[in-house]
């Protein structure tokens, strides 16, 4: 329900190397899961091109930053890329659902997303609604493959993507319109939207690795700080909220530093998280 513009291609070499390492496996996992609509079926008839719309929404150009965070968090907790892939797919499927629904005429009414027509323009509004529903369902289905971490992961995603966080943020955004807002109100909105999904990504990575509740909580705080900083930087790059630019820059720096400090508590395995936080924080 946001439209980030931050370009990983301009990131430091260590961040690019990490993303280049994990992105192909994430893309392969997403394509595999969406080959049959994400439900384990045989991929046969596709009434209304529903499954095609789901693939269109998910498999196009994308940074895969949220699923990469899942992998980084899992590895910080002693897990590995293969074990984190179901959770990584889940967060990207859920992210794609939010974008499909955000673009609908009843929401932002956008006709372009990632350089191509939005799903409701390409497939019709009704199929776009169903495609978003299908992606959300597939996200939770992917978590079933986590085994021992499944219950924790489902609880995390349901909380972060539910009516108190992600959906609450979108509701606030719709009701508040484009009127003047304080920096505190803006940051609360960022925390409920971008921050909630970044936090969910990191918590899912911890769950995939079988980490402790303490490690999962620390990574949730990391993701929340990183997500808010990310969205402040995105607003600045889009030329939005210029009246808060100076204060927002200070918050980007502070939040990036907070996130990096949390990541350092995981030692050498948390270094990709440190690099990501340092990169975002430096964008102030």
State how far the Cα of 118 lies from the Cα of 124, in Å rounded to an integer: 10
| Residue 12 domain-assigned (yes or no) | yes
Residue 1: its pLDDT value, please?
43
Residue 180: its pLDDT value, please?
66
State how far the Cα of 256 lies from the Cα of 270, in Å rounded to an integer: 15
Total number of domains constituting the chain = 1
Tell me the C-alpha to C-alpha distance, in Å, between residue 178 and each of 109, 172, 184, 219: 15, 11, 15, 32
Q: Is pLDDT of 110 > 80?
A: yes
14-30 pLDDT, tens digit per residue, is 999 999 999 999 999 99
DSSP label of 266 = T
| Residue 85 domain-assigned (yes or no) | yes
**Band of the pLDDT at 176, cuts 50, 70, 90?**
confident
| Residue 30 domain-assigned (yes or no) | yes
| Residue 3 domain-assigned (yes or no) | no
Q: Which residues pair with 116 in a beta bridge?
A: 113
State how far the Cα of 79 lies from the Cα of 199, in Å rounded to an integer: 18
State how far the Cα of 243 lies from the Cα of 236, in Å rounded to an integer: 10
Residue labelled with tokens 């008839």:
45
| Residue 2 domain-assigned (yes or no) | no
| Residue 115 domain-assigned (yes or no) | yes
- Domain limits for position 28: 8-282
Cβ 207 vs Cβ 144: under 8 Å: no
Q: Which residues pair with 117 in a beta bridge?
A: 112
Give the mean pLDDT of 233-238. 84
Residue 3: its pLDDT value, please?
47
| Residue 40 domain-assigned (yes or no) | yes
Widest CA span of the chain, in angstroms? 54
| Residue 140 domain-assigned (yes or no) | yes
- Position with higher pLDDT, 234 vs 269: 269
Find the CATH number of the domain harbouring 152: 1.10.600.10
- What is the pTM assigned to this prediction? 0.93
> What is the H or E stretch that residue 215 is in?
helix 213-237
Please give the mean pLDDT across all residues of the chain: 92
Number of Cβ within a 10 Å radius of residue 83? 20
């Amino acid at each position: 329900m946001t439209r980030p513009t931050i370009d990983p291609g301009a990131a430091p070499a260590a961040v690019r190397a990490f993303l280049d390492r994990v992105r192909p496996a994430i893309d392969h996992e997403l394509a595999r899961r969406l080959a049959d609509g994400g439900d384990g079926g045989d991929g046969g008839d596709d009434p209304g091109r529903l499954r095609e719309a789901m693939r269109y929404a998910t498999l196009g150009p994308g940074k895969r930053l949220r699923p990469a965070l899942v992998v980084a968090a899992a590895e910080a907790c002693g897990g590995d890329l293969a074990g984190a892939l179901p959770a990584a797919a889940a967060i990207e499927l859920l992210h794609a659902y939010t974008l499909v629904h955000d673009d609908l005429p009843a929401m932002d009414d956008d006709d372009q997303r990632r350089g191509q027509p939005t799903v409701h323009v390409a497939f019709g509004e009704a199929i776009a609604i169903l495609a978003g529903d299908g992606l959300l369902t597939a996200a939770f289905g992917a978590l079933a493959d986590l085994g021992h971490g499944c219950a924790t992961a489902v609880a995390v995603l349901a909380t972060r993507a539910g009516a108190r966080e992600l959906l609450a943020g979108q509701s606030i955004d719709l009701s508040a319109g484009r009127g003047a807002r304080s920096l505190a109100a803006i940051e609360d909105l960022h925390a409920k939207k971008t921050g909630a999904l970044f936090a969910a990504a990191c918590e899912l990575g911890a769950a995939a690795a079988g980490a402790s509740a303490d490690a999962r909580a620390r990574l949730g705080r990391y993701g929340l700080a990183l997500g808010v900083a990310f969205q402040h930087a995105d607003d600045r790059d889009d030329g939005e909220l210029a009246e808060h630019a100076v204060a927002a820059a200070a918050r980007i720096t502070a939040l990036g530093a907070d996130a990096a400090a949390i990541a350092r508590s995981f030692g050498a395995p948390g270094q990709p998280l440190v690099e990501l936080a340092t990169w975002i924080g430096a964008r102030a």
